[in-house]
């Protein structure tokens, strides 16, 4: 017999206009930049105010993906959602975002979840409740921080890209990027690499990376492999200067050649700047360093991928 659904409500107050907050909730493509549990979010389809989205996110430390249908109501500032493709142990999951204006520059956000577990298992229901509690608390806190951070553009995330054009086989290029567990033997700046693979193209890549000053640091990234031409990732164990690092590798046509691009979106942790770079260092200094180091590593990876793919072709 199917038991009653569980309903959980989480709320927060944000010093920002209700319309600005609503726009952030509607744009799931930006969620990985804002919500810690979200690895990647994508709009799959849109028909008026009917929206189909897919999210890749962690739940209780496990990477999951699901598809949801959302009903958008910009006038009422509400978004109702229901998962159409769930991930175990979830049997049903639905809910609503509601943005309630308090003043012109403040609002309350309510996030409701209604859910059932597979086979109405008490253990599974408790697992879902923990995930809902953890993720909802983190998401509302991150939403508040992102909206209020807009007043200081220097701390907002910034994005940059590096590209290489080539004529080598794009299938081989993607294979190089996808097989992150082999990078320690293929990339000079990677000292160690290990990767765990999950279903639905999800991966967890752990690396120890050498820095130009001879030091090294460990990073961990959840990745979404979308063969044959796109691989997205989000670092969950970050270098000391960063509070956010998401990115993607893409392979696209460029005339008669192929363009392999590395894209980074990064935010600086202002409290870490003087600790890492010394007294007097600024967020601007940290941005320049992050751009230089990440860009250099990206170009070295892209160039190594091209060399490897060319060698692999010649050995066929």
Closest CA to 97 of 53, 149, 128, 61: 53
The CA angle 205-311-247, to the nearest 5 degrees, is 30
Say how far apart CA 124 and CA 129 lie, in whole Å: 9
DSSP state of 36: T
Residue 315 has pLDDT above 90, yes or no: no
pLDDT band at 10 (very low <50, low <70, confident <90, very high): very high
pLDDT in tens, 148-165: 876 567 888 999 999 999
Look at residue 137 and tell me whether its pLDDT is greater than 80: yes
Q: By CB neighbour count within 10 A (0-12 exposed, 13-18 middle, 19+ buried), where does 168 fall?
A: buried
**Helix (DSSP H) and strand (DSSP E) numbers for the chain:** 7, 14
**pLDDT confidence of residue 316:** 45
Q: How much is the pTM?
A: 0.90
Which residue ranges form the domains of the chain, and what is each CATH number?
A: 6-151 (3.30.530.20), 155-314 (3.30.530.20)
Question: pLDDT averaged over the chain?
Answer: 93
From 98-102, 193-197, 198-202, 260-264, the region with the lowest mean pLDDT: 198-202
In tens, the pLDDT along 197-222 reads 999 999 999 999 987 777 888 999 99
Give me the pLDDT at residue 253, please.
96
| Residue 85 · residue 66 · CB < 8 Å | yes
Q: For residue 238, how far is the Cα from the chain centroid? A: 13
- Residue-level pLDDT at 46: 96
pLDDT at 120: 86
pLDDT of residue 1: 42
At 289 the pLDDT is: 94
Return the percentage of the chain with pLDDT > 90, whole number.
86
């Amino acid at each position: 017999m199917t038991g009653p659904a569980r309903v959980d409500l989480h709320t927060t107050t944000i010093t920002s206009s209700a319309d600005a907050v609503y726009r952030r909730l509607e744009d799931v493509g930006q969620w990985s930049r804002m919500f810690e549990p979200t690895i990647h979010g994508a709009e799959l389809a849109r028909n008026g105010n009917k929206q189909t989205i897919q999210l890749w996110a962690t739940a209780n430390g496990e990477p999951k993906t699901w598809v949801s249908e959302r009903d958008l109501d910009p006038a009422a500032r509400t978004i109702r959602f229901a998962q159409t493709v769930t991930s175990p142990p979830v049997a049903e999951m639905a809910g609503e975002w509601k943005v309630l204006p308090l003043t012109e520059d403040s609002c309350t956000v309510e996030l409701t979840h209604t859910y059932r577990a597979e086979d109405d298992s008490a253990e599974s229901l408790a697992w879902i409740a923990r995930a809902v509690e953890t993720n909802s608390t983190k998401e509302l806190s991150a939403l508040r921080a992102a909206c209020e951070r807009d007043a200081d553009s220097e701390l907002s995330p910034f994005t940059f890209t590096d590209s290489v054009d080539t004529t080598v086989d794009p299938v081989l290029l993607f294979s190089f990027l996808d097989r992150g567990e082999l990078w320690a033997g293929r990339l000079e700046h990677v000292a160690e690499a290990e990767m765990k693979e999950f279903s639905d193209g999800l991966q967890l890549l752990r690396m120890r990376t050498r820095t130009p000053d001879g030091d090294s640091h460990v990073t961990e990234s959840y990745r979404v492999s979308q063969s044959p031409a796109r691989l997205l990732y989000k670092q969950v164990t970050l270098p000391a200067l960063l509070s956010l690092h998401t990115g993607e590798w893409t392979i696209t046509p460029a005339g008669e050649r192929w363009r392999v691009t590395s894209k980074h979106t990064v935010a600086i942790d202002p409290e870490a700047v003087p600790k890492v770079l010394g007294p007097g260092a600024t967020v601007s200094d940290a941005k320049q360093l992050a751009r230089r180091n990440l860009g250099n590593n990206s170009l070295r990876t892209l160039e190594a991928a091209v060399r490897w793919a060319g060698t692999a072709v010649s050995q066929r």
